[in-house]
A and B are shown apart, each in its own frame.
Chain A
Amino acid sequence: MAELMTEKHVKYILSVEKKKDDFESVVMEHLRVNGAYWGLTTLDILGKLDAVDQDEVVSWIMQCQHESGGFGGNIGHDPHILYTLSAIQVLALFDKIDVLDVENVANYIASLQNEDGSFSGDMWGEIDTRFSYIAICSLALLHRLDKINVERAVKYIVSCKNLDGGFGCTPGAESHAGQIFCCVGALAITGSLHHVDKDLLGWWLCERQVKSGGLNGRPEKLPDVCYSWWVLSSLIMIDRVHWIDKGKLVNFILDCQDKENGGISDRPDDAVDVFHTYFGVAGLSLLEFPGLKAIDPAYALPVDVFAAASNHDGMN
């Protein structure tokens, strides 16, 4: 088996190159909160979270919060549910959820639920099952699921279930591994997995594994390391992970490493980025690769972090 280049990945995450003409870096400014979640969670899985200054991160994250309670992707950006979850997750990594005005954040998230149970991303009204997952995961971490209509939220998610057992972004949309993770995760967190045909979905998910051992997100698409997370966590949540060839998947992920400079890419020999580095390492953790912290498949946080968050009294 190839080696996991832990030190190189840590170095890669800690020092993104400051090239003035680096367009790749420039486009990430507005979603730096997501970037922080991907980078910091990876460090924690690798046992190196202490390499960052916790107080600075927390202080910066809190400056991303809007008066509505929601978080923007960076300081000065409009609030959106996407960055609100990442902010909560980053605070959870440092066991600092208590710095939040929980009522304020929970109200923001709850305000995004629609009549049919779906969730909008922000005040502009885009609807997607990604946001259902985000709302449910966020509120569960804050112990405030009581703020939303869970029954209707579940009903909407179930309306997005397709005949192949999978889920799409809206009713009738094609089954997609990313959307499946969101729907299955939301159903798992709300104790509603009985709505999932586990055998049917499990088969659809294990069909994502291609000859190279990697996983794709839909039939006849190319494998991508990020599906090592979306497909794998879904399989674990429905108790069907033994249906894929784990060894081949481990090798695929390891082949996606940049062994010189650190970081992981979508498939072997492509350029690396923080997003794929996180999903590759998280996938390896789910596959019980030695030396990594265990990660919770539904909350996408290290298991010990999730346990700490669960123990917190939800009141402020």
Chain B
Amino acid sequence: MNRGVEEERARIPMSQRPEWADIRPVPQYDGPNPVVPIAYTDEFSETMDYFRAVYLADERSPRALQLTKEAIFLNSGNYTVWQFRRLILDALNVDLHEELHFVDQITKDNSKNYQIWHHRRWVAEKLGTQIASKELEFTREIFSQDAKNYHAWSHRQWVLQALGGWENELAYCDELLEDDIFNNSAWNQRYFVVTRSPLLGGLEVMRDSEVAFAIKAILAKPENESPWRYLHGLYKNDVNSLVNDPRVASVCLDVLLDKRDCVHALNMVLDLLSHHHQPSNELKDAVDAVSPDPKPSDSNFAERVCSILQLVDPIRASYWRWRKTSIPAQD
């Protein structure tokens, strides 16, 4: 359980606090024989009994606000408490910068909680564009602990589109990928920036340098799924340009010659062949050199690639078998 600094003194039961003397707490009703019976701590029960009292009375007061904070510290997933808190915040016209500070605290230990991120968005939306850089900074802190946090990425994308702050986003993707080239969330964000940033000119303008970036990443770690998919993504509506970009066949060749993890390279070769790419003899030799079967029987090169993939990626053998049946007729 997470508590703010002010909660660290010993907790006084609600029943002993004079400011709550006028309230009759309302107990949880689970029905006579609960289907999913749940046990409670005394502290939790008491806090929630008082919460239910103010909630049912619709009391939107400072003490109710404080009570929602205590309830949230006990169980930050209770969405009804968060919703009532919002009603109180509106009614009391509370300084939302303070509220954001509270959300900062509670997120640190609960970074995968939907209610907290939704509440954060509600607060940020009310604060508007002035809060953009703080929100980008906050998600950056979350990513320093977990660079793939899906909620934080969703929040960050929303901030950029609703509040702005695109200036350093591509550079931030560079940073994250330098930390972990396998971070698929960062690759996704890179695509998001390249295609949606109002400052970069769009995919057409960025394609060339992004292809170079992806290829560099592939050469560093050819077993990494993400840059291979990214490469496909850069050519989204124009697969012939992908096939005709000599850098693509070239990176496949380099990976195969190095005899490193070759599954994705072989898959890309297959994609190229499926779009009528004419493989060089060098590429054919390099492919044969990575085959675990010294005497591959397929005379058709594309079929041979599939056979090799069945051997080097056996868990997906059925998929590679299907690819073999769907190779277009060669010219």
Contact = CB atoms under 8 A, between A and B. Distances in A.
Interface of A: 16-23, 25-32, 35-36, 39-40, 52-53, 56-57, 59-60, 63, 72-73, 75-78, 80, 122, 124, 126, 162-164, 168-170, 172-176, 199, 202-203, 206-207, 209, 211, 213, 218-221, 242-245, 248, 274
A31 B226 CA distance: 36
Interface of B: 1, 28-42, 44, 48, 52, 55-56, 74-75, 77-80, 83, 86, 114, 118, 121-122, 148, 150, 153-154, 157-158, 182-185, 188-189, 191-192, 195-196, 224-226, 229, 232-233, 236, 315-319, 322, 326
Given A29-B28, A78-B79, A124-B83, A245 B33 contact: no
A173 B316 contact: no
The dominant DSSP class at the A interface is: loop
B41 to A, nearest CB: 6
Contact of B35 (A36, A72, A78): A36
Contacts of A242: 318
A218 B153 CA distance: 14
B35, B78, B148, B326: residue with the most chain A Cβ atoms closer than 10 Å: B35
A300 B41 CA distance: 34
A22 B39 contact: yes
A113 B224 CA distance: 39
Contacts of A163: 191, 229, 232-233, 236
Nearest to B185: A174
A52 B182 contact: no
B149 to A, nearest CB: 11
Contacts of B30: 60, 75
Contacts of A274: 36
A73 B81 CA distance: 12
Given A63-B31, A75-B29, A211-B315, A170 B41 contact: no
9 contacts: A25-B40, A80-B79, A163-B232, A163-B236, A164-B232, A172-B192, A174-B185, A218-B184, A244-B318
Contact of B157 (A21, A172, A206): A172
A126 B56 CA distance: 24
Contacts of A248: 315
B41 A20 contact: yes
Contacts of B189: 174
Given A164-B229, A220-B182, A126 B118 contact: yes
A22 B315 CA distance: 41
B154 A56 contact: no
A26 B316 contact: no
Contact of B31 (A16, A23, A59): A59
Contacts of B48: 29
A5 B122 CA distance: 45
Contacts of B78: 29-30
A218 B316 CA distance: 17
A73 B79 contact: yes
B75 A26 contact: yes
A26 B48 CA distance: 11
Nearest to A22: B39
Contact of A243 (B37, B42, B157, B316): B316
A60 B35 contact: yes
A59 B31 CA distance: 9
B316 A209 contact: yes
A269 B110 CA distance: 23
A56 B316 contact: no
B39 A20 contact: yes
B114 to A, nearest CB: 8
A28 B38 contact: yes
8 cross-chain pairs, A with B, having the tightest CB-CB distances, nearest first: A163-B233, A174-B188, A243-B319, A219-B184, A60-B31, A18-B39, A219-B225, A30-B78
A173 B153 contact: yes
Nearest to A29: B38
A274 to B, nearest CB: 7
Contacts of A27: 75, 77
